A and B are shown apart, each in its own frame.
Chain A
Amino acid sequence: SQQGEEDPQALSIQEGENATMNCSYKTSINNLQWYRQNSGRGLVHLILIRSNEREKHSGRLRVTLDTSKKSSSLLITASRAADTASYFCATDDSSASKIIFGSGTRLSIRP
Protein backbone atom coordinates (compact mmCIF):
# COMPACT_ATOMS: atom_id res chain seq x y z
CA SER A 1 0.00 0.00 0.00
CA GLN A 2 1.10 3.58 -0.56
CA GLN A 3 3.17 4.81 2.32
CA GLY A 4 5.48 7.62 3.29
CA GLU A 5 8.91 6.53 4.41
CA GLU A 6 10.88 8.82 6.67
CA ASP A 7 14.60 9.29 6.59
CA PRO A 8 16.63 9.09 8.74
CA GLN A 9 15.09 6.58 11.15
CA ALA A 10 16.86 8.30 14.03
CA LEU A 11 18.52 11.69 14.43
CA SER A 12 20.44 13.15 17.36
CA ILE A 13 21.44 16.81 17.37
CA GLN A 14 22.62 19.48 19.78
CA GLU A 15 20.10 21.87 21.23
CA GLY A 16 19.91 25.00 19.11
CA GLU A 17 20.80 23.22 15.86
CA ASN A 18 18.34 22.68 13.03
CA ALA A 19 16.78 19.26 12.40
CA THR A 20 15.75 18.05 8.98
CA MET A 21 13.65 14.96 8.33
CA ASN A 22 12.62 13.64 4.96
CA CYS A 23 9.63 11.69 3.72
CA SER A 24 9.31 9.89 0.40
CA TYR A 25 6.15 8.39 -1.02
CA LYS A 26 5.25 6.23 -3.96
CA THR A 27 2.19 7.53 -5.77
CA SER A 28 0.42 10.82 -6.39
CA ILE A 29 -1.12 12.48 -3.37
CA ASN A 30 -3.63 15.20 -2.58
CA ASN A 31 -1.82 16.31 0.52
CA LEU A 32 0.82 15.32 3.04
CA GLN A 33 0.74 15.77 6.79
CA TRP A 34 3.36 15.76 9.53
CA TYR A 35 2.67 14.57 13.07
CA ARG A 36 4.70 14.52 16.29
CA GLN A 37 4.54 11.84 18.96
CA ASN A 38 6.02 12.36 22.39
CA SER A 39 6.97 9.24 24.33
CA GLY A 40 3.92 7.49 25.71
CA ARG A 41 1.46 9.87 24.06
CA GLY A 42 -0.74 10.00 21.00
CA LEU A 43 0.17 11.74 17.77
CA VAL A 44 -0.27 15.46 17.42
CA HIS A 45 -0.93 17.06 14.05
CA LEU A 46 1.72 19.62 13.10
CA ILE A 47 1.10 20.76 9.56
CA LEU A 48 -0.69 19.86 6.34
CA ILE A 49 0.65 20.76 2.92
CA ARG A 50 -1.44 20.35 -0.22
CA SER A 51 -0.13 18.97 -3.47
CA ASN A 52 -0.28 22.42 -5.12
CA GLU A 53 1.84 23.99 -2.37
CA ARG A 54 5.63 23.94 -2.31
CA GLU A 55 6.39 25.29 1.15
CA LYS A 56 4.56 25.98 4.35
CA HIS A 57 5.61 27.50 7.68
CA SER A 58 4.31 27.18 11.21
CA GLY A 59 6.40 28.80 13.93
CA ARG A 60 9.80 27.04 13.90
CA LEU A 61 8.55 24.42 11.45
CA ARG A 62 9.09 24.58 7.72
CA VAL A 63 7.69 21.92 5.41
CA THR A 64 8.51 21.59 1.75
CA LEU A 65 6.88 19.38 -0.84
CA ASP A 66 8.36 18.32 -4.16
CA THR A 67 5.72 16.36 -6.04
CA SER A 68 8.07 15.70 -8.95
CA LYS A 69 10.40 13.82 -6.59
CA LYS A 70 7.55 12.51 -4.44
CA SER A 71 9.23 13.79 -1.33
CA SER A 72 8.73 16.19 1.56
CA SER A 73 10.98 17.56 4.26
CA LEU A 74 10.30 18.87 7.74
CA LEU A 75 12.76 21.40 9.11
CA ILE A 76 12.74 22.33 12.79
CA THR A 77 14.84 25.41 13.42
CA ALA A 78 16.62 26.30 16.68
CA SER A 79 15.78 22.94 18.26
CA ARG A 80 14.81 22.65 21.90
CA ALA A 81 14.79 19.76 24.36
CA ALA A 82 10.99 19.69 24.08
CA ASP A 83 11.32 18.82 20.38
CA THR A 84 12.57 15.35 21.36
CA ALA A 85 9.90 13.07 19.88
CA SER A 86 9.10 10.86 16.91
CA TYR A 87 7.94 12.57 13.75
CA PHE A 88 5.68 10.90 11.18
CA CYS A 89 4.59 11.86 7.72
CA ALA A 90 1.21 10.73 6.45
CA THR A 91 -0.16 10.67 2.92
CA ASP A 92 -3.67 10.12 1.66
CA ASP A 93 -4.38 6.80 0.01
CA SER A 94 -5.47 6.39 -3.59
CA SER A 95 -9.14 6.82 -2.68
CA ALA A 96 -8.38 9.89 -0.53
CA SER A 97 -10.62 8.35 2.11
CA LYS A 98 -7.94 7.82 4.74
CA ILE A 99 -4.27 8.51 5.44
CA ILE A 100 -1.32 6.16 5.72
CA PHE A 101 1.55 6.79 8.15
CA GLY A 102 5.22 6.18 7.65
CA SER A 103 7.37 4.50 10.28
CA GLY A 104 8.74 7.76 11.66
CA THR A 105 11.97 9.53 12.56
CA ARG A 106 13.09 9.51 16.21
CA LEU A 107 14.57 12.89 17.04
CA SER A 108 16.71 13.37 20.13
CA ILE A 109 17.90 16.80 21.21
CA ARG A 110 21.07 16.79 23.30
CA PRO A 111 21.39 19.55 25.92
Chain B
Amino acid sequence: NAGVTQTPKFQVLKTGQSMTLQCAQDMNHNSMYWYRQDPGMGLRLIYYSASEGTTDKGEVPNGYNVSRLNKREFSLRLESAAPSQTSVYFCASSVTGGVQPQHFGDGTRLSIL
Protein backbone atom coordinates (compact mmCIF):
# COMPACT_ATOMS: atom_id res chain seq x y z
CA ASN B 1 0.00 0.00 0.00
CA ALA B 2 1.79 3.13 -1.23
CA GLY B 3 -0.24 5.70 0.77
CA VAL B 4 0.83 9.21 -0.25
CA THR B 5 3.47 9.46 -2.97
CA GLN B 6 5.33 12.67 -3.75
CA THR B 7 7.55 13.38 -6.74
CA PRO B 8 10.25 14.47 -7.09
CA LYS B 9 12.07 13.77 -3.80
CA PHE B 10 14.73 16.42 -4.43
CA GLN B 11 14.91 19.40 -6.76
CA VAL B 12 17.23 22.36 -7.27
CA LEU B 13 15.91 25.36 -9.15
CA LYS B 14 17.24 28.73 -10.16
CA THR B 15 15.40 31.87 -9.13
CA GLY B 16 12.57 32.56 -11.57
CA GLN B 17 12.17 29.00 -12.78
CA SER B 18 8.86 27.23 -12.46
CA MET B 19 8.02 23.71 -11.43
CA THR B 20 5.18 21.48 -10.29
CA LEU B 21 5.31 19.18 -7.31
CA GLN B 22 3.18 16.10 -7.71
CA CYS B 23 1.22 14.24 -5.06
CA ALA B 24 -0.97 11.16 -5.34
CA GLN B 25 -2.80 9.10 -2.73
CA ASP B 26 -4.31 5.65 -3.09
CA MET B 27 -6.45 5.61 0.06
CA ASN B 28 -9.60 7.04 -1.53
CA HIS B 29 -9.31 10.10 0.73
CA ASN B 30 -11.44 13.12 0.01
CA SER B 31 -9.17 15.83 1.43
CA MET B 32 -5.61 16.71 0.49
CA TYR B 33 -3.11 19.27 1.77
CA TRP B 34 0.19 20.92 0.92
CA TYR B 35 2.53 22.07 3.71
CA ARG B 36 5.97 23.53 3.87
CA GLN B 37 8.37 22.80 6.71
CA ASP B 38 11.16 25.20 7.58
CA PRO B 39 13.67 24.72 10.42
CA GLY B 40 12.20 25.56 13.80
CA MET B 41 8.82 26.56 12.37
CA GLY B 42 6.87 23.34 12.20
CA LEU B 43 4.53 22.78 9.28
CA ARG B 44 2.63 25.60 7.65
CA LEU B 45 -0.36 24.99 5.42
CA ILE B 46 -0.03 26.36 1.89
CA TYR B 47 -3.26 25.15 0.25
CA TYR B 48 -5.77 22.43 0.85
CA SER B 49 -8.56 20.70 -1.00
CA ALA B 50 -11.44 19.58 1.17
CA SER B 51 -12.91 17.54 -1.66
CA GLU B 52 -12.44 16.95 -5.36
CA GLY B 53 -13.13 20.15 -7.25
CA THR B 54 -12.43 22.55 -4.37
CA THR B 55 -9.27 24.28 -3.21
CA ASP B 56 -8.68 26.83 -0.47
CA LYS B 57 -5.81 28.95 0.72
CA GLY B 58 -3.96 28.09 3.86
CA GLU B 59 -1.61 30.16 5.99
CA VAL B 60 1.11 30.85 3.38
CA PRO B 61 -0.37 30.66 -0.17
CA ASN B 62 1.53 33.53 -1.83
CA GLY B 63 3.73 32.40 -4.71
CA TYR B 64 1.95 29.05 -5.11
CA ASN B 65 -0.94 27.59 -7.08
CA VAL B 66 -2.61 24.21 -6.78
CA SER B 67 -4.68 21.88 -8.90
CA ARG B 68 -6.87 19.06 -7.63
CA LEU B 69 -6.62 17.03 -10.81
CA ASN B 70 -8.91 14.25 -9.59
CA LYS B 71 -9.64 12.54 -6.30
CA ARG B 72 -6.19 10.96 -6.19
CA GLU B 73 -3.93 13.79 -7.28
CA PHE B 74 -3.16 17.24 -5.91
CA SER B 75 -0.32 19.25 -7.45
CA LEU B 76 1.52 22.33 -6.21
CA ARG B 77 3.01 24.79 -8.68
CA LEU B 78 5.66 27.43 -8.18
CA GLU B 79 5.30 29.85 -11.09
CA SER B 80 8.45 31.90 -10.44
CA ALA B 81 10.60 30.35 -7.74
CA ALA B 82 12.24 32.56 -5.13
CA PRO B 83 14.98 31.70 -2.58
CA SER B 84 12.41 32.18 0.19
CA GLN B 85 10.61 29.12 -1.15
CA THR B 86 13.54 26.87 -0.31
CA SER B 87 11.93 24.36 2.01
CA VAL B 88 10.71 20.81 2.44
CA TYR B 89 7.23 20.37 1.01
CA PHE B 90 4.83 17.75 2.33
CA CYS B 91 1.62 16.51 0.85
CA ALA B 92 -0.98 14.91 3.11
CA SER B 93 -4.44 13.42 2.80
CA SER B 94 -7.31 12.57 5.12
CA VAL B 95 -10.61 10.75 4.82
CA THR B 96 -12.47 14.01 5.16
CA GLY B 97 -11.46 17.53 6.04
CA GLY B 98 -11.36 19.11 9.43
CA VAL B 99 -9.98 17.18 12.33
CA GLN B 100 -9.34 13.78 10.79
CA PRO B 101 -5.86 12.23 11.09
CA GLN B 102 -3.67 13.08 8.13
CA HIS B 103 -1.40 10.73 6.20
CA PHE B 104 1.82 12.25 4.89
CA GLY B 105 4.17 11.64 2.02
CA ASP B 106 7.92 11.70 2.60
CA GLY B 107 8.39 15.18 1.22
CA THR B 108 10.09 17.04 -1.60
CA ARG B 109 13.28 18.85 -0.68
CA LEU B 110 13.41 21.98 -2.81
CA SER B 111 16.33 24.39 -3.05
CA ILE B 112 16.07 27.67 -4.92
CA LEU B 113 19.41 29.24 -5.84
Contact = CB atoms under 8 A, between A and B. Distances in A.
Interface of A: 1, 3, 30-31, 33, 40-45, 48, 88, 92, 96-104
7 contacts: A33-B99, A41-B106, A45-B101, A88-B42, A98-B97, A100-B59, A103-B41
A78 B52 CA distance: 43
A100 B107 contact: no
Interface in B1-35: 4, 33, 35
Given A96-B99, A97-B97, A44 B104 contact: yes
Which of B50, B102, B107 has most chain A Cβ within 10 Å? B102
B43 interface: yes
B98 interface: yes
A42 B34 CA distance: 12
B45 A100 contact: yes
B106 A102 contact: no
A101 B101 contact: no
A92 B4 CA distance: 22
Contacts of B97: 97-98
Contacts of A40: 106-107
A103 B42 contact: yes
Contacts of A3: 42
B61 interface: no
A28 B48 CA distance: 23
Nearest to A47: B101
